[in-house]
Amino acid sequence: MSLQLEHVCDLTVELTPPHEVGTSGQGARRIIPIVGGSARGERLSGTILPVGADWQTVDANGVADLDARYAIQTDDGAVIEVLSQGVRHASPEVVARIMAGEAVPPSEYYMRTAIRLSTGHPAYAWVNCALFVATGGKVGAKVSLSVYQVL
């Protein structure tokens, strides 16, 4: 049996500058507040609430473990929790371009996340029993993700 993907929405996640925690045995730790954004799609549309953060660890090889929690308020009033865990990897040259705010095409680096969504709103109960994956990239203080339901 093969997997199929169905597009759910595109997210634009707005960030503030990171809080650098420092380097531990796992790598450099940082907390990046999530302060807003949008979700746009035929199955899910709304506003990203300013209630979350991405807790990142970047190892010595430049591989970033992404661990974000935030929430979407849909256009019809539901609140959906987002738990997104993923990996980002790029060459040192591409990382420097991204950090400088350049719009580096996502095809030049790897950024993928596994997402769980949850809500108590009956119109969106379908998100509670599904897995989602996303691909995307970062430009300046925003992350763009295309989210797909795994069927």
Phi then psi dihedrals of residue 121, to 5 deg:
-80, 125
pLDDT, position 70: 98
State mean pLDDT over 84-110: 87
pLDDT in the model for residue 141: 85
Per-residue model confidence (pLDDT) at position 99: 75
Indicate whether 65 pLDDT > 90. yes
**pLDDT tens sequence across 79-94:** 999 999 999 999 888 8
pLDDT tens, residue by residue, 4-28:
999 999 999 999 999 999 998 889 9
The alpha carbon of residue 19 and the mean position of all alpha carbons in its chain are separated, in whole angstroms, by: 18
pLDDT given for residue 105 in this prediction: 86
Q: What angle do CA 129, 31, 19 make, to 5 degrees?
A: 165
> CB of 126 within 8 A of CB of 117?
no
Is the pLDDT confidence value at 121 over 90? Answer: yes
pTM: 0.91
